[in-house]
Chains A and B, each alone.
Chain A
Amino acid sequence: MIWGLPFWTFFFVFITPVLAIILSIVYAVTFKDDDTWFTFEDLKKKNHKNKESER
């Protein structure tokens, strides 16, 4: 029991907001002021490049 609550209740009441705040700070830190954004295709290209460099 934490503050009179079972762990999972405590998690959804107090931990998820903290996680959300941490993630929103990550958003701010990684934010790029340009007119493009990351897409699934970029992920594929990265994988492709990695494989090529391994060869």
Chain B
Amino acid sequence: MNSHIITIIIAVVYFVVILVIGYLAGLRTKGMKDYMIGGQSLGVWITSLGIMAAVMSGWTWLGNPGYTYTYGYSGHIRMNGIACLGLVLCYFAIAKPVRVISEKHGCLSLPDVLATRFNNNKTIHILTCAIILVGCFTYLVSQWSSMGVVMEYILGINYKWGLVIGAIIITAYVMFGGMLASMWTNFFQMILMFVFAIVLMFVCFKACGGLTNMNEMAAAIDPGMVTPTWSEKGMSFMFIFSYQFLLVALGYGGQPGINTKFMMVSSRKELKWSPLISIVALVIGCSTFFAGIAGADLVAAGAFEAPAKNDQILLSLIDYLFSPGIGACILVAVMAAVMSTAETYLFQAATTMTQDLAVKVFGVKWDDKKTLRISRIVMICVTIVTVILALDPPELIANLGTQAFGSFCGGFGAVMYIGMRWRRVNSKAAIAGLVSGLCLSGIFPLINTVFFDNALLPGFTAAGLGVVVSAAVIIVVTLCTKREESIVFSHFTN
């Protein structure tokens, strides 16, 4: 059978499976608690793998191999070097506090948790909603764009049609089934990614004559391919340090796709083994970078031609290494990665506007069922707006999309970590931390890219600086202002 037809059949089967999952989840969704945090009924496996599925976007499958194909191991170290340690830090610092606050105070979202931590402070609630909305909208535009590219490649249809079909499918199951659908499909998507990442890794090793041989072949192309930094290609120590060590490792806790999910487990006990499952999933998922090294070796050996764009190295490698059936499954895993991230941010955007802004901040009196209905309508509106933007993304929006990750890390990271572990932090310090983090991690990099072509702070990830400055601002303002007793610590005995 023609390989293209096999790919289309497997993709259609995948779409049917996730739509059925969405439908079944929808039958169990009765109110906003079910819709937003799965009724706090999820087990450790679904939660832990769901967290990782949200983190692993299309970038893991397309960008990651492309980056190592271009920059060798230094590219991998910049993007993933100590990400797994950052994730462990995130669990140690905020997983339990977020779960307990959600349980005791009925919080359903990150803005809700942060506002509650600072005694239902409205400014903090509005500020966090604004950061989330800007981040989610721009993230969504970039995810829809990736979806269009992947669907175009897999189904052989026009980019715009691919984007629209993908967006309709995702919106259908998330709108109907809410977070439950998102988490169940995330689980299924993560299993797909997990299995095919392992297959891909070992097939790459085999194609290059083993891991050691693969690395020696890479070093023969250029010794910089295997060194931890590669200054000639711009991967200087400071460039890697500012991104991986400051932004990713210290800012993971600021990602709403991660911290919101700590609220969803059925009991606190379920958090116990969650980091271990998440870390193993993260390590296996990120192993796609080996495909970049193997791709560089095989292109240099003349096994196949270099792709037109470096990001397409995985696609070229799949064509070369796999039979049509397995290749199709890996392509569907790539699509699953894009979908799992897109659905998380689509959901966040819609529920932030309804449950957080309308109901909690502005005090609109909707009952649970009406809020649920309006959330679903808002989700359709968010999809329409972001899909229109993604059809031909304006430069500003495309740039904002790349800054969204940094904005979340810089905006929320320090406030979450320090605010949860230092009782003395007050609302003034939190507001100062949120604003300074957002300015340095979101707005400054955007201005630097759009107006200065990254000439300010060359070779440094400004967003990483945002996390550190935000932490420093929180500490200084806390020490200089009056202590406020927070309601979330009221049950502490000492």
Point out residues on A near B: beta carbons under 8 Å.
Answer: 3-6, 8-9, 12-13, 16-17, 19-21, 23-25, 27-28, 31, 33, 35-42, 45
Least CB distance, B309 to chain A, in whole angstroms: 25
* A residues in contact with B87, CB < 8 Å: 20
The answer to whether A3 touches B211 (Cβ under 8 A) is yes
Least CB distance, A20 to chain B, in whole angstroms: 4
The answer to whether A4 touches B421 (Cβ under 8 A) is no
* B residues in contact with A39, CB < 8 Å: 421-423, 489, 492
Residue tally, chain B, CB below 8 Å to A: 49
The answer to whether B85 touches A6 (Cβ under 8 A) is no
* A residues in contact with B136, CB < 8 Å: none
**Between-chain CB contacts (< 8 Å), 16 pairs:** A3-B211, A4-B211, A4-B213, A12-B81, A19-B85, A20-B85, A23-B85, A24-B88, A24-B91, A24-B278, A27-B92, A27-B275, A31-B272, A33-B267, A36-B100, A37-B420
On whether A6 and B228 interact (CB within 8 A), knowing A31-B272, A33-B268, the answer reads yes
Point out residues on B near A: beta carbons under 8 Å.
Answer: 73, 76-77, 81-82, 84-85, 87-88, 91-92, 96-97, 100, 103-104, 211-216, 218-219, 226-228, 267-269, 271-273, 275-276, 278-280, 283, 420-424, 489, 491-494
Q: Which of B73, B85, B100, B272 contacts A37 (CB 8 A)?
A: B100
* B residues in contact with A17, CB < 8 Å: 84, 279, 283
Q: Which of B77, B228, B272, B421 contacts A28 (CB 8 A)?
A: B272
* A residues in contact with B267, CB < 8 Å: 33
Considering the complex, give the chain A residue whose CB is closest to the CB of B72.
A9
Q: Which of A9, A27, A36, A42 contacts B227 (CB 8 A)?
A: A9
The answer to whether A28 touches B275 (Cβ under 8 A) is yes
The answer to whether A25 touches B276 (Cβ under 8 A) is yes
The answer to whether A5 touches B423 (Cβ under 8 A) is no
On whether A4 and B273 interact (CB within 8 A), knowing A27-B88, A33-B268, the answer reads no
* A residues in contact with B271, CB < 8 Å: 31
Least CB distance, B277 to chain A, in whole angstroms: 9
Is chain B's interface secondary structure helix, strand, loop, or mixed overall? helix
The answer to whether A20 touches B92 (Cβ under 8 A) is no
Most A CB within 10 A of own CB, among B73, B269, B424: B73
The answer to whether A8 touches B423 (Cβ under 8 A) is no
Bound CA–CA A33/B265 (angstroms): 13
* A residues in contact with B218, CB < 8 Å: 4
Q: Which of A6, A16, A45 contacts B494 (CB 8 A)?
A: A45
**Interface pairs A-B: 9 shortest CB-CB:** A4-B215, A20-B84, A24-B275, A24-B276, A17-B283, A8-B228, A4-B212, A12-B81, A31-B272
Bound CA–CA A37/B91 (angstroms): 12
Bound CA–CA A42/B84 (angstroms): 27
